[in-house]
A and B are shown apart, each in its own frame.
Chain A
Amino acid sequence: MSSWGDLDTEMQRLPLDANTADRLLAGSIAPEDAPPGYAGVATLLAAIGDSPGADEPVGASEAVASLGAVVRSSQTQITRPSRRSNLSRLKLATAFVTVALAGTTGLAFAGSLPGAAQSVASDMLGTLGVTVPGPNSNAGDHPNVRGKSADTAVTSNSGKGSEISELATSTDLTGVAKGAAISTLASDGKSKAGQEHGAPVATPNSGGTGTADTASDGNSSQGTSAANTASDGHSSAGSDNSADGQSHRP
């Protein structure tokens, strides 16, 4: 460690911080104000940065004349490509528009454009006196009117549906007759619902045997006979329906 009384040359060199280094290089620190050990560096930097002054550099006039010629020729070179570029862009755009028009017209003549585009092309070329097929010429038997939801709703309300709905709510018919009437209307008379099954049979009771007895006035013994025959007399079927109440049980 050096004491304050030491000469600069005897003092130990201190580490240099970045800011001081920056100021030394900027020439902001004179050699006498430099940190210990850096006075020589400050002088060296001053010597390096020593400018020869504002004297005219040797051969400056010739150099400037040649530079001026280069600058002016460079300006011409800069301008020319720009014009060429604009011209080529214009040519490219014109060619694109021409090709697009020719292609669209050709497609219009062939009738191959989409419906809306074909319609527009037909109208526009028609004003010029050129006949071009319309959008519906290739449609065959397909409708040439595009359907709308609203149109569909109106047709539905004013057609068969409303009649069926009215019949269903206003008729005096009930049961099978009502269903048959609605079915007939809905199928345009093709439905035979409720018409080929004869008159409905009133159901006297809930039993099948009872129904048979009633229908045959108590003479229904066919099932019982068949059961007896099949079982060699062991069947008890129809025993309850026997007119005399005798049992055939063995």
Chain B
Amino acid sequence: MATGLQFESVLSAAQSGADWALTTLYRDLHPPLVRFLLAQEPADGEDLASEVWLDVARGLGRFQGDESAFRCWLFTIARRRLIDLRRTRARRRTTPVSLDQLIDRPDPADAFAGVETGDALACLGALPPAQAEIVLLRVIGGLDSCEVAAVTGRKPGTVRVMQKRALERLAELVPLDAEVHVTR
């Protein structure tokens, strides 16, 4: 953990409702959780993160496992919340958008001219959703390929193939002569 505390002691205290332990967990995991959700649902990411933490609080007493398992559990809940949101949205009536509005949308490849964090996240929109999700879980969630497989319900080999294809697709999008710089 970022605080250097043993996860077992933090988890045990958090399960009894200790504020310091909950604060430790929240401070460690809330930033990547929000970034994961915002990358896929920019308008609803914050609300989804709150719902995920409420789910975690409800099920915390029954959780058993180490830090890696806790991180997997957290992102599994987040992924299910995303799926629920998209299902709900699919049932809603959509508002038609004129063609003129669509013409003004930026090309995802333009973001690579000068890479900033927000632009980089937006560029993942050029990937198929499943591949973008795997990249986000790997890079933002800090999960390895086996943990991503567990979270997404796929086989580890499938995840490795999908992440390789995602990087190849991103490499096609990045101009070879692009000057890449990161703004933090």
Contact = CB atoms under 8 A, between A and B. Distances in A.
Contacts of A26: 138, 144
Nearest to B160: A18
A44 B115 contact: yes
B18 to A, nearest CB: 8
Interface of A: 8-10, 13, 15-18, 21-22, 24-27, 31, 37-41, 43-52, 54, 56-57, 60-61, 63-65, 67-68, 70-72, 74-75, 78
Contacts, number: 142
Contacts of A39: 180
Contact of B27 (A16, A21, A60): A60
The 10 A-B pairs with the shortest beta carbon distances in the complex, nearest first, are: A40-B174, A70-B57, A47-B120, A43-B180, A21-B164, A72-B17, A25-B138, A49-B139, A71-B17, A67-B57
Given A21-B160, A57-B26, A60-B26, A50 B58 contact: no
Interface stretch (B72-80, B82-90, B92-100, B165-173): B165-173
Contact of A44 (B18, B120, B138): B120
A8 to B, nearest CB: 8
Contacts of B14: 71
Nearest to A13: B171
Given A71-B61, A78-B62, A48 B135 contact: yes
B121 interface: yes
Nearest to B32: A51
Interface in B95-150: 112, 115-117, 119-121, 123-124, 135-136, 138-140, 144-145
Contacts of B7: none
Contacts of B16: 71, 75
B31 interface: yes
Given A9-B176, A41-B167, A22 B145 contact: yes
Most chain A CB within 10 A, of B14, B53, B59, B167, is at B167
Nearest to A15: B168
B17 A44 contact: no
A47 B116 contact: yes
27 contacts: A16-B167, A16-B171, A18-B164, A21-B163, A22-B145, A22-B160, A39-B180, A40-B171, A43-B181, A43-B182, A44-B174, A47-B115, A48-B39, A48-B120, A48-B124, A50-B182, A56-B27, A57-B31, A60-B23, A63-B30, A64-B23, A64-B26, A67-B53, A67-B54, A67-B57, A68-B57, A71-B60
